[in-house]
């Protein structure tokens, strides 16, 4: 095949230049040019494949989900509670206003069976999908959330009582971050990973494969009804699973709309929406889900008390459980953070009062060094007093009033024991919505470790401040680690302060943010705690792989050449001579694991006893 004249001319000029000026022979030039041409062709081929892939899979599909509206005319519940005397129905109402939303029928054990069977049937097809197909579903889901963020926040606020800003940060931002992380890094996390071998097994190739589990379950809390539902769904679907999500009775109203959002993404890409099942039932029926033999894994987000019931139930079918149980998170401020107090105050307020303090990683204890303590309290007191209690203000409603007496009791007891109640401390009756569940933003100072409130999770808009004896790691940790709950922690100080890293290394927690609050959640690091805060991790590679069966595969590297494991004569049954056979196997061990001399001795022993 002849080259076009212009190409041939360029080729000759380049060849002559290389020969004359670079002392490169024409043969070497031809080889190098050919290699460059091959690499360039491969580059073009990959770009074309990428464009084809984008055309087939990356295109976002838009879809619509019917909006959820409050019934008209508006009515208010007689008693703001999810339970109604004489009825099995779940009474759905808005915790900020007391407005009636609907009556929901809880699922029965038979209904749970049907949900699991439907997810199982859909999962048999879904587990065969490629990562490209799963990413396509998530991209469309991401686009829907971004396009409809205000509507999602509106629904979440009605059902949970939080403000719109709190919903944007706690429902939308963290959900789209999880989707984006999964799109960018999920495939790499779930690709078969190569594992090392050893000298004796150097002819083997080792990999770990991450395979779908089947149908998994998630029992999620009410504080972030959209995000808590979507988080387990995103991971489960990307790992190839079906999922049954049991939502809290406190937020059943929004769950149907939220489930339709993910189901719509499945439908628009041609997949069975029954892959995702969102159910509601009373706690007495939940045991049927958590002990079900066709559930392969359970994610539980909730209280320490209920976690014991869930794990006991799951043990009946030996179903593994990931338990995220909240915490009593310390927020530590060292002497070396003195110049940063204004910024720190803003972070404390956001970390304590977002969603009316109903955050598993919310700030529960501010621990300040003596040089910082008074300055910090001086700044905090007027700011907490200025917080407005209203969904249109700063601090929204709590999900129910069930914890109000407990909170008031702990605060009153702390005051009797020497704490200073500077702001709040009691339930609040809203002037427009007296049936709403509001608690006053509270600032309690001079709290000491012996007080009950220093150990029990408040899960409320309650800010407690504790004074450490000094800024030393030992004195700070004596307070920070003096609790049964160890989820997250925050430490503020100068990077040059040696106490900072000592605290980071020794604070008892599953996660630590340095000079920040909860930043680990915004970057999808593995999320979870230790001790009373539960076990297991979601988010990140660890969380995604936790949704999989880890299958270890060991295979021959050179099987094509006949290099395979064979049983040598000294250890073939029947054993002719135990003493000589033992000497042979001892030689194998020394060859594999001894130093140079031992390896030589081992090889000799093997040769000597090869025919034992």
Catalogue the active-site residues: 324, 360
Q: Which residues of 257-267 are buried (b: 16+ CB within 10 A; e: fewer)?
A: bbbbbbbbbbb
- Residue 43 main-chain phi, psi, to 5 deg: -60, -45
94 Cβ contact partners less than 8 Å away, ≥ 6 residues apart: 70, 101, 158, 159, 161, 436
Cβ–Cβ < 8 Å for 206, 194: yes
As a whole number of angstroms, the distance between CA 69 and CA 67 comes to: 6
CB 353, CB 373: distance < 8 Å: no
**DSSP bridge pairs for 514:** 491
Looking at 386-456, list the stretches that DSSP marks H as alpha helix, in order from N- to C-terminal side.
404-416
Task: Name 421's bridge partners.
Answer: 444
**Are the CB atoms for 152 and 268 separated by under 8 Å?**
no
What b/e string do you get for 423-462 counting C-beta neighbours within 10 Å, with b at 16 or more? bbbebbebeebebbbbbbbbbbbbbeeebebbbbbbbbbb
| C-alpha span between 172 and 175 (Å, rounded) | 5
Helix locations, 356-423, DSSP H: 370-385, 404-416
Q: How many other C-beta atoms lie within 10 A of the C-beta of residue 183?
A: 19
Alpha-carbon distance values, 153 to 136, 213, 403 (Å): 24, 32, 25
Token pair, residue 508, equals: 């008892």
Compute the distance between CA of residue 225 and CA of residue 160 in angstroms, rounded to an integer.
7
Inter-CA distances, 489 with 47, 354, 460, 467, 524, Å: 45, 17, 18, 17, 16
In 15-73, the DSSP E strands lie at none
Q: Which residues pair with 320 in a beta bridge?
A: none
Angle at 151 between CA 362 and CA 402, to 5 degrees: 40
Report the C-alpha gap between 31 and 9 in whole angstroms: 18
- Count of alpha carbons within 13 angstroms of residue 306, beta-carbon side: 19
Beta strand pairing status for 330-333 and 488-492?
Answer: parallel
R_g of the chain, CA atoms, integer Å: 31
Query: What is the C-alpha to C-alpha distance for residues 64 and 412, in angstroms, rounded to an integer?
Result: 51
């Amino acid at each position: 095949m002849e080259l076009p004249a212009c190409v041939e001319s360029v080729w000759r000029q380049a060849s002559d230049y290389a020969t004359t000026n670079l002392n490169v022979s024409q043969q070497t030039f031809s080889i190098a040019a050919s290699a460059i041409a091959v690499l360039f062709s491969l580059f073009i081929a990959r770009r074309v494949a990428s464009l084809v892939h984008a055309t087939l899979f990356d295109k976002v599909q838009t879809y619509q989900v019917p909006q959820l509206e409050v019934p008209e005319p508006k009515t208010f519940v007689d008693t703001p509670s999810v339970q109604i005397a004489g009825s099995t129905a779940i009474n759905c109402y808005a915790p900020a206003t007391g407005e009636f939303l609907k009556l929901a029928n809880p699922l029965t054990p038979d209904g749970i069976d049907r949900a699991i069977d439907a997810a199982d049937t859909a999962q048999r097809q879904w587990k065969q999908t490629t990562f490209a197909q799963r990413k396509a579903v998530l991209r469309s889901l991401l686009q829907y959330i971004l396009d409809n963020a205000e509507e999602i926040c509106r629904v979440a606020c009605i059902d949970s009582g939080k403000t719109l800003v709190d919903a944007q940060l706690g429902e939308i931002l963290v959900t789209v971050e999880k989707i984006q992380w999964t799109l960018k890094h999920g495939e790499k996390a779930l690709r078969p990973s190569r594992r090392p071998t050893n000298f004796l097994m150097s002819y083997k190739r080792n990999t770990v494969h991450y395979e779908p589990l089947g149908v998994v379950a998630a029992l999620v809390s009410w504080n972030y009804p959209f995000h808590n539902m979507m988080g387990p769904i995103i991971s489960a679907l990307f790992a190839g699973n079906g999922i049954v999500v049991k939502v809290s009775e406190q937020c059943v109203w929004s769950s149907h709309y939220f489930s339709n959002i993910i189901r719509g993404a499945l439908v628009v890409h041609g997949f069975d929406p029954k892959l995702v099942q969102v159910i509601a039932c009373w706690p007495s029926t939940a045991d049927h889900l958590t002990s079900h033999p066709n559930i392969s894994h359970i994610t539980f987000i909730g209280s320490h008390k209920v976690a014991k019931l869930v794990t006991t139930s799951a043990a009946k079918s030996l179903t593994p459980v990931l338990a995220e149980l909240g915490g009593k998170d310390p927020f530590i401020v060292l002497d070396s953070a003195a110049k940063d107090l204004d910024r720190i105050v803003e972070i404390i307020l956001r970390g304590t009062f977002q969603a009316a303090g109903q955050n598993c990683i919310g700030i529960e204890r501010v621990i300040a060094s003596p040089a910082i303590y008074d300055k910090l309290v001086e700044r905090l007191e007027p700011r907490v007093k200025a917080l407005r209690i209203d969904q249109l203000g700063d601090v929204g409603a709590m999900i129910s009033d069930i914890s109000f007496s407990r909170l008031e009791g702990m605060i009153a007891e702390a005051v009797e024991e020497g704490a200073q109640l500077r702001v709040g401390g009691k339930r609040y009756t809203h002037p427009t919505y007296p049936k709403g569940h509001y608690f006053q933003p509270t600032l309690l100072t001079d709290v000491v470790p012996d007080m009950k409130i220093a150990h029990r999770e408040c899960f409320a808009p309650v800010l407690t401040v504790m004074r450490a004896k000094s800024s030393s790691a030992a004195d700070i940790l004596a307070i920070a680690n003096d609790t049964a709950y160890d989820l997250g922690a925050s430490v503020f100080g100068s990077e040059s302060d040696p106490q900072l890293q000592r605290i980071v290394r020794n604070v008892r927690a599953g996660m630590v943010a340095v000079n920040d609050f909860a930043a680990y959640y915004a970057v999808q690091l593995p999320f979870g705690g230790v001790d009373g805060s539960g076990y297991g991790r979601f988010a990140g590679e660890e969380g995604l792989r936790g949704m999989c069966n880890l299958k270890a595969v060991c295979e021959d590297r050179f099987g094509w050449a006949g290099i395979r494991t064979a049983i040598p004569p000294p250890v073939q049954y029947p054993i002719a001579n135990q003493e000589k056979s033992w000497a042979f196997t001892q030689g194998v061990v020394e060859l594999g694991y001894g130093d140079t001399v031992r390896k030589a001795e081992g090889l000799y022993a093997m040769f000597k006893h090869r025919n034992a």
